[in-house]
Structure 1
Amino acid sequence: MEAELTALAVSGATTLVGLMVSESWTQARDRVARFFARGGEQGSAEEELVRSQQALMAARAAQDDLAGADIEAEWRMRLRRVLQDDPQAADELRTLLSEVSPGVQDDRGASVHNSVSGGVQNGPVVQGQHFSGLTFGAPGRVPPEQRTGGQ
């Protein structure tokens, strides 16, 4: 069960941070604040969400991926605490995620099997969903079209 809650916290934090930089953040923020308030004061949760969103936008503008990752990690840890403290929060979080981010699917019980075949693979294998700015190359190797002279 712990692994399932951890996966849900990771999914929730990723979705939350993704929403913070989207046009739908304003509508989602109130729902997320109510989830985190859970009987406490919604205003303080909303203030934390606003601060995180501003910090995330500043990090994106400065192309500071590490700061963005730190913000996501903070919300992931906070989600894990909520999920560990309140067993019913998992269902509420799943519902919230499906409402604020319809593209996110509930993958409880889903399994993934990957295999690389065809002999030896002398390169990276990448699995995931949204990739950008990836560069692959071996250190010290220069592509033939970039070689000069007698190399």
Structure 2
Amino acid sequence: MDAELTALAAAGATALVQQMVTDGWEGVRGRVAALFSRGSGDEEGAVAGELEEARDEVVAARDTGDVAVADDVRAEWRSRLRRRLAADPDAVAELRALLAELGPDDGPSGSVVHNSISGGVQHGQVIQAHTVGDLTIGDSRDRQGR
């Protein structure tokens, strides 16, 4: 069950960070804060504040292109979610329901991509990217006919 909780916490943290930069953030923030507080209004407010601070960090980092901040926030909330799920079995169902509502198409890219590489390839390059600009593979002299 620990591996299952770890995977669920990772999925939850990923969805949480993705939602931080969407229009649906307030609803998600409220649901996650409620998941952590489970009936304690004071605790719910504190968690909502922590989530909002994390969102501010992610938004500011996105504006500067610093992807490490989102990774750090994701790791922090993955750990917190894992501990919460281990301590409260009812939270497992709550998080699963939230993830099901968000669905795979609600992420920032609007889609899910699955890639696989197979065959007899012994070497070569594989590039996966959202955006690629000014890319040169090989020697630039090859393109100039030299």
TM-score, normalization by structure 1: 0.75
Q: Residue 24 of structure 2 aligns with which residue?
A: 24
Q: Residue 108 of structure 2 aligns with which residue?
A: none
Q: Residue 53 of structure 1 aligns with which residue?
A: 55
**Which stretch has the larger CA shift, 12-21 or 34-43?**
34-43
Task: Between the two structures, name the one with larger relative contact order (CA 8 Å, sep ≥ 6).
Answer: 2
> Is 2:139 the partner of 1:142?
yes
Q: Residue 121 of structure 2 aligns with which residue?
A: 120
Q: Which runs of 5+ in 2 are unaligned?
A: 106-113
Whichever structure has more helix as a proportion of its residues is 2
Q: Deviations over 1:35-66 (max 9, x none)?
A: 12123321001101110111110110111111
Structure 1 runs of 4+ aligned residues shifted over 6 Å read: 135-138
Identity of aligned residues (%): 42
TM-score, normalization by structure 2: 0.77
Aligned CA-pair RMSD: 2.6
Q: Which runs of 5+ in 1 are unaligned?
A: 105-111
Q: Residue 62 of structure 1 aligns with which residue?
A: 64
Alpha-carbon distance between aligned partners in 1 of 2:87 and 2:126, rounded to the nearest angstrom:
38
| Number of positions where the alignment pairs a residue of Structure 1 with one of Structure 2 | 133
Alpha-carbon distance between aligned partners in 2 of 1:124 and 1:148, rounded to the nearest angstrom:
23
The Cα of 1:29 is off from its aligned counterpart by: 1.4
